[in-house]
Amino acid sequence: MSNITIYHNPACGTSRNTLELIRNSGAEPEIILYLETSPSREELVKLIAAMGISVRELLRVNTAPYGELGLDNPDFTDAQLIDAILLYPILMNRPVVVTPLGAALCRPSEKVLDILPDAQKGAFTKEDGERVVDKDGKRLV
């Protein structure tokens, strides 16, 4: 069993890049396809606390349910926002990665480098062509 977990959406380029950066460190993470297997309320609350962010910061604002539900209204409580994420998992921004060094919403994808226990094993270039790691495993951004 891996000591790294990624809440992943394979349709998302940032999520794919983050997964590949994890693999570039030599690790094979536990991959949770959160749109299919959503975290429980308890898991979601723990993730938010571990990341040190607000519930609102975890919300993905550029998706249909956000606007349709009026979630930009500041009167929504954290509990109500969590209810919305549980009902519409697409509202959870991604990817979220948990390692022995911490948890993070990895946007941009190279944010995962801050919490990976092992160094990069070689060069890494994101899907858009941005070089993130050089051939010696040194971070470029």
Q: Is residue 86 part of a domain?
A: yes
Instruction: Give tens-digit pLDDT for 18-43.
Output: 999 999 999 999 999 999 999 999 99
What percentage of the chain reaches a pLDDT higher than 90?
98
DSSP 87-128: H-GGGB-S-EEEETTEEEE-SSGGGGGGT-SS---S-EE-TT
Per the structure, how many domains does the chain have? 1
Range of the domain at 71: 5-133
> For strand 5-8 and strand 30-33, is the pairing parallel, antiparallel, or unpaired?
parallel
Furthest CA-CA distance within the chain = 49
Q: Is residue 43 part of a domain?
A: yes
Q: Is residue 139 part of a domain?
A: no
Catalytic residue among 12, 27, 35, 123: 12
Examine the residue annotation and report whether 106 is marked as an active-site residue of this protein: no
Q: What is the pLDDT of residue 60?
A: 96
Q: Is residue 97 part of a domain?
A: yes
Instruction: Give tens-digit pLDDT for 68-99.
Output: 999 999 999 999 999 999 999 999 999 999 99
pTM over 0.85: yes
Q: Is residue 141 part of a domain?
A: no
Q: Return the CATH number at 24.
A: 3.40.30.10
Q: What is the pLDDT of residue 5?
A: 98
